[in-house]
Amino acid sequence: MTKLEVQEQEILETQDQNHLWHAMSRHVEGGKPTIAESGEGSWFTDVHGKRYLDGVSGLWCLNLGHGRKEIVDAAAEQMMKLSYFPLTLSHIPAIQLSTKISDLLGDSYKTFFSNSGSEANETAFKIARQYHIQNGNPGKFKIISRYRAYHGSTLGALSATAQANRRVKYDPGVPGFLHVPPPYSYRCPFGEEVTDCDKVAADMIDQVINWEGSETVSAVIMEPFISGGGVIVPSEKYLQGVAEICMKHDVLLIMDEVVSGFGRTGKMFGFMHSEGVQPDIVTMAKGLTSGYLPLGATAVKSELFETFKEKGNDKHLRHVSTYGGHPASCAVALKNIEIIEQENIVSRVATLGESILGRLKDLIQHENVGEIRHKGFLYGIELVKDKESKEPAADEMLAKVIGLCKEKGLIIGRNGDTVPGFNNVLIIAPPLSSTEEDLNFLVETVKYAFDQLN
Distance (Å, rounded) from C-alpha 348 to C-alpha 128? 35
**Residue 271 CA: distances (Å) to CA of 14, 58, 297, 300, 364:** 45, 23, 16, 15, 27
Instruction: Name, in order, each residue with C-beta under 8 angstroms of 55's C-beta and a sequence gap of 6 or more.
Output: 405, 410, 411, 412, 413, 428, 429, 430, 442
List b or e across 192-208, with b for residues whose CB sees 16 or more CB atoms inside 10 angstroms. eeeebbbbbbbebbbeb
pLDDT of residue 337: 98
CB atoms closer than 10 angstroms to residue 314: 10
pLDDT of residue 2: 46
CB atoms closer than 10 angstroms to residue 72: 14
List b or e across 266-286, with b for residues whose CB sees 16 or more CB atoms inside 10 angstroms. bbbbbbbbbeebbbbbbbbbb
Residue 198's closest CA among 225, 220, 229? 225
Judge whether 427 and 380 are in contact, CB under 8 Å. Answer: yes
CB atoms closer than 10 angstroms to residue 303: 12
User: Residue 291 region, left (φ>0) first, then alpha (ψ -120 to 50), else beta?
Assistant: left
User: In which residue ranges of the chain is pLDDT below 50?
Assistant: 1-4
User: Of all helices (H) and strands (E), which one includes residue 427?
Assistant: strand 425-428
Residue 26: exposure state from Cβ atoms within 10 A (0-12, 13-18, ≥19)? exposed
- Which structural domains are found in the chain, ordered by start? 34-67+345-451 (3.90.1150.10), 69-342 (3.40.640.10)
**Residue 422 CA: distances (Å) to CA of 224, 417, 429:** 21, 9, 20
∠ CA 244-284-263, nearest 5°, is 85
Question: Taking the complete model, does pTM exceed 0.85, yes or no?
Answer: yes
* Alpha-helix residue ranges (DSSP H) falling in 161-215: 164-167, 197-212
Residue 150's closest CA among 221, 265, 229, 224? 229
pLDDT of residue 4: 46
DSSP output for 83-146: S---TTS--HHHHHHHHHHHHHHTS-EEEEEESSHHHHHHHHHHHHHHHHHHTT-TT--EEEEE
Count helices and strands in the chain by DSSP H and E runs = 14, 15
370 CB-side CA count, 13 A: 20
Omega of the bond prior to 86 within 30 degrees of 0, cis? no
User: Residue 39 region, left (φ>0) first, then alpha (ψ -120 to 50), else beta?
Assistant: beta
Distance (Å, rounded) from C-alpha 449 to C-alpha 350? 26
